[in-house]
């Protein structure tokens, strides 16, 4: 079976390194970007099997914008948005109700501090492995 490639985008270098290391440990290939712009450039050269995006990067909604662009270009690519915005601001949103799904073009929204075992299960579920 061909190795699946996961795109991870986060402007926090330490978090990006840690998450990439964890996902590689699950047996996936990983490509990383540290900004929305870098991710958009990467997406012009390859199609990931799944993407994990930070929400707030160079803009407060970079993850939403990037997710929208991924879904427009590659509708079948699952997208996870990982964010700490709920803990930091108290704002609550998700992808479970129809109203949020209309503007959040992601398959899953996870609060940062994600347990590796839970992330692994979510990736497997979204990739239908």
* Residue range 87-122, pLDDT digits in tens: 454 555 555 555 544 546 688 888 888 899 999 999
Q: What is the pLDDT of residue 119?
A: 95
Dist. CA 104–CA 70, nearest whole Å:
12
113 contacts: CB under 8 Å, gap ≥ 6: 84, 87
Domain ranges of the chain: 5-127
Residues in the chain with pLDDT values less than 50:
86-87, 89, 100-101, 103
- CATH homologous superfamily of 5-127 equals Response regulator (3.40.50.2300)
What string of DSSP letters covers 107-119? Answer: SEEEESS--HHHH
Hey, is 47 helix, strand or coil?
coil
Q: pTM for this structure?
A: 0.86
Task: Report pLDDT for 89.
Answer: 47
Q: Which pLDDT does position 62 carry in this prediction? A: 84
pLDDT at 111: 84
pLDDT at 87: 47
């Amino acid at each position: 079976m061909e190795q699946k490639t996961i795109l991870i985008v986060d402007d926090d270098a330490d978090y990006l390194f840690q998450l990439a290391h964890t996902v590689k440990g699950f047996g996936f290939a990983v490509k990383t970007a540290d900004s929305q712009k870098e991710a958009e450039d990467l997406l012009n050269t390859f199609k990931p099997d799944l993407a994990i995006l930070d929400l707030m990067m160079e803009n407060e909604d970079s993850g939403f914008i990037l997710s929208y662009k991924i879904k427009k270009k590659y509708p079948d690519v699952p997208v996870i948005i990982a964010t700490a915005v709920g803990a930091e601001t108290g704002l609550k949103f998700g992808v479970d109700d129809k109203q949020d799904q209309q503007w959040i073009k992601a398959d899953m929204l996870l609060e940062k501090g994600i347990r590796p075992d839970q992330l692994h299960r979510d990736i497997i579920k979204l990739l239908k492995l």
